[in-house]
């Protein structure tokens, strides 16, 4: 497939490497429904808006120097010895703790862009931010798969559309299937130095899915999909809190008018973070899958940059809404019954 699209993709779809020459190309996508971003067919692919690893690192250090509220920590290293960063706010033992985890898969880039915007937002001194930090402990772990996001891996990406980003880490392992064995340094560090050290009560795990995901069988393209932990070993109270977390996200995205969410048809295995972390640690988890990927061996999974702004903002909206719901304790009274009627995702791609 890469060869088939070589003249179109050039340096790639939604690249996270901003320091490179800005290359453009065209890729075709469907038209979304009235409640989602309007993709309008031809899409330009550009890379200059998104952060490379080096630029992400520089931004985090600059924000850390500027803000007294932010505590920046390196909690481990990747296979290729890149530092793994954790941004911390609050850390009052009497407050609930939430973790936002992004880019377990290196080709799912916009989630990290949203996380970086959230971190920047939390470094301002507004009354709203102070209220959040005074009442919620916030952990943001942007880009777990730092090697895959750079395409710096020990295997060929020739079959990928652009050959620049991969789902897997440098050893060819899917980090989101390594939450039981924890054989990879990235996953091991996350468990030992974040999950076990800070004991979060909540987690939103942000991912991307294929471009042609629809709302049930309506044919209407969605901007994202969500799901709570479905493993049988998860405590029912933990699962219920996860459903409430999902309701907060759904209501926030739905109210904006440019987002349309479906129920993700995910598996039950504990190796998946959504399930394993809920079962092992009692963390109320939510999976949030956003539309399109930066690179893939399937052409219908790759999305051009035309809708980047909408999708990045969708991630920010979801994360800010959960912080506000935790800060004012409104999460507890959130009605999660929408799950009973939320249509499950369908896929109309290849």
Please state the φ and ψ torsions of residue 172, each to the nearest 5 degrees: 80, 25
Q: Assess whether 289 carries a catalytic annotation.
A: yes
What distance in Å separates the CA atoms of residue 11 and residue 52, rounded to the nearest whole number? 14
Question: Exposure of 199 by Cβ count < 10 A (0-12 exposed, 13-18 middle, 19+ buried)?
Answer: middle
Task: List Cα–Cα distances, 220 to 5, 34, 216, 253, in angstroms.
Answer: 26, 9, 8, 16
The DSSP 8-state label assigned to residue 276 in this structure reads H
Please state the φ and ψ torsions of residue 42, each to the nearest 5 degrees: -60, 130
Q: Which of 165, 163, 153, 178 is nearest to 110 (CA)?
A: 165
The DSSP 8-state label assigned to residue 141 in this structure reads E
What distance in Å separates the CA atoms of residue 266 and residue 234, rounded to the nearest whole number? 15
- DSSP H or E run through 264: none
- DSSP H or E run through 298: none
Q: Which of 231, 206, 222 is nearest to 343 (CA)?
A: 222
What distance in Å separates the CA atoms of residue 266 and residue 269, rounded to the nearest whole number? 9
Number of residues written out for the chain: 350
Strands 224-227 and 137-141: unpaired
Task: List Cα–Cα distances, 285 to 39, 145, 159, 295, in angstroms.
Answer: 30, 19, 33, 26
Identify the active-site residue in 289, 299, 324, 350. 289
What distance in Å separates the CA atoms of residue 349 and residue 296, rounded to the nearest whole number? 14
Q: Which of 155, 55, 197 is nearest to 112 (CA)?
A: 55
**Which residues are designated catalytic?**
289
């Amino acid at each position: 497939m890469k060869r088939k699209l070589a003249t179109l993709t050039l340096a790639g779809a939604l690249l996270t490497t901003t320091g490179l020459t800005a290359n453009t190309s065209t890729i075709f996508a469907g038209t979304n429904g009235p409640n989602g971003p309007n993709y309008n067919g031809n899409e330009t692919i550009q890379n200059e808006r998104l952060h490379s690893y080096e630029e992400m690192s520089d931004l985090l250090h600059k924000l850390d120097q500027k803000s007294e509220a932010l505590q920046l920590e390196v909690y481990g290293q990747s296979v290729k010895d890149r530092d793994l960063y954790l941004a911390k706010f609050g850390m009052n033992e009497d407050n609930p703790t939430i973790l936002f985890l992004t880019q377990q898969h290196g080709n799912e880039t916009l989630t990290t862009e949203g996380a970086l915007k959230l971190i920047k937002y939390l470094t301002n001194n507004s009354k709203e931010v102070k209220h959040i930090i005074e009442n919620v402990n916030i952990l943001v772990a942007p880009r777990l798969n730092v090697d895959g996001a750079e395409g710096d891996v020990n295997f060929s990406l020739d079959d990928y559309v652009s050959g620049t980003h991969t789902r897997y880490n440098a050893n060819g392992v899917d980090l989101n299937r390594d939450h039981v064995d924890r054989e990879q340094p990235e996953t091991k560090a996350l468990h030992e130095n974040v999950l076990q050290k800070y004991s979060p009560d909540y987690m939103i795990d942000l991912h991307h899915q294929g471009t042609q995901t629809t709302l049930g069988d309506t044919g209407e393209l969605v901007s994202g999909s969500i799901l709570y932990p479905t493993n049988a070993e998860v405590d029912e109270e933990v699962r219920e809190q996860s459903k409430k977390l999902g309701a907060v996200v759904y209501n926030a995205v739905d109210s904006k008018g440019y987002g349309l969410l479906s129920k993700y048809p995910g598996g039950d295995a504990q190796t998946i973070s959504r399930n394993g972390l809920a079962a092992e640690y009692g963390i109320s988890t939510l999976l949030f899958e956003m539309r399109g990927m930066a690179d893939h061996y399937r052409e219908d999974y790759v999305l051009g940059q035309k809708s980047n702004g909408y999708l990045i903002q969708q991630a920010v909206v979801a994360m800010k809404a959960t912080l506000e719901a935790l800060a004012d304790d409104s999460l507890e009274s959130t009605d999660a019954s929408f799950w009973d009627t939320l249509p499950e995702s369908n896929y109309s791609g290849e």
